[in-house]
Structure 1
Amino acid sequence: MSQLLSLAVPENARSVQFNTPRGVFAALDMAPSESTVRGNTALLVPGFMGSKEDYLSILPHLSRRGVRVVAIDGRGQNETGKASANPSYARDDMAQDLVAIVQEIDDRPVHLLGHSYGGIAARAAVIATEGDPSLWASLTLMNFGPASVSVWQQDRLQLLLSAVECMPLAAMWPYVRNNEVTVPEDVAQFLEQRWLRNAPEHLAAAAAQMLSETDRTPELSRIPIRKAVISGTPDETWDPAAAERMARELDAEFFRLEGGGHSPNVHRPTETAAALAGFWSASREAALA
């Protein structure tokens, strides 16, 4: 489950909606600080049971480094909801959602980042578009592995799949919330409300995809796009060793963030932002060379 410790929103971040042919998507759009040189835009995709708010902790650090960030609620998540009248939560449709969103952003190509489950959709979007350089400046996979989740996480997802078919989300909350981390009361209330705003169909589809996803590393390795892999440790969802092997096979930059856990964007925001900004800057310079 995506984690969150604070709801503090930077002053230069605003809530927006992207009206696309595939539906309406909620987002946070944060401009760079005035004192920095504007760089490329980054599109941040949240993980399972997550939302755009998962990235709040790293927004100020990225802003100071001259990065514009668009963090989204994906289809079925938080303020986006179903997005359209006849939603599909299939992997390839979720990938097409990302393509539709980036086509509405006025600063392209974007640096695409997918966290955890978001990595499935982000990877699929790059593969489906063959790394179209008019859309993507780079791809970063954060706490995401080459294929399905760990055996331990598979058991939890199977339980969730069984429950979501027969229980209301409110009844499930006591069993899915993270009781190991104490958070401020406003955060606890937000996490519960965010869970209740999930589309159950999205939860079921996402869990099934995390259980069945195959290794698409060979396909992705053939796409001529700069790539990075970030692995916060320890991580019980996708094995950090497998993530590192994937990075080598992709010829991708690899960043291990000790103590970052499954959400280094939350637990190591300064280090995560530094790794991302450095990678994005190098990608931009390489594109201009």
Structure 2
Amino acid sequence: MFDFRQLRYFIAVAEELSFTRAAQRLHLSQPPLSQQIQALEHDLGIRLLERDKRNVTLTEPGKLFLEHARQILAMADDARIQVAEAAAGYSGHLRLAYTVSVSFHPALPQILIRMGQNAPNVRIWLSEMYTEPQFAAIRQGQIDVGLVRDVPNHEDDAYALRIDVIDREPLLLALPEGHRLASRKQLELAEVAGEPFVIQPRELAATLYDRLVRLAAKAGFHPVVRQQAQQLNGLLALVAAGIGMALVPASMQAVKLAGVSYVPLADPDAYLLLAVASRAESPSPVVSQFLETVADAKASLGL
């Protein structure tokens, strides 16, 4: 069966219509070139070239074979490029999950923009998912990476997963605009002890729920929950309605909802982690490329 080298040799002779010029172009002597062309014709059982002492011409089968030879080499070159891109993480698929609150953080669009620039042939499949389910989904191979809001609590997850911190995002207190503390530059959480809060159900947003409970306990009280809402946007609507206050990540300030004021908390523990989770062992080239892109995006945002 003929090989790629013979195809390249044949194409050179067919384009030059001269064994001498083809040999010069290929940087080899003429005898081995002639031997390879003869071997190709013998293998095919067809004469591809007519030659005499002065001229070389293509036979009709030779003209047809020239078209196919060019296509075969072009396909081989394309395959080589695609395989190299896949090995470097520049092509393939990436299944990325993120929590709803990450939608408002500037890191998400920056990461996606940079990934599109660095690896435009990577197809990214996006899905919203809470933090704890993301850990299980990565371990079970359902997603490749996740943008999460906490580190794993279970030992098996902690051992199996790699966690790269992107940001420790400050937590703010979202207050009704007419609240007595709404104009403050900063406040202590103890100042709102006994006042009503609106929260997401713990089964949906355990990270933020538990952070509120811990911060309140540190301030000497347990939060009074007046109402629950499944989405962060829903919490802000309840805040605007004066039903209660909410603990939210600072990036939620992007939601300009009338009737809501955001006040930073003085407690240094009042932050929410933003990190990328992936498998600790044997990351795919695409995942490795994504993690490099996350690091670049983090640096560009000054995080």
TM over 0.5: no
Q: TM-score, normalised by structure 1?
A: 0.28
Q: Which has the larger radius of gyration?
A: 2
Q: TM-score, normalised by structure 2?
A: 0.27
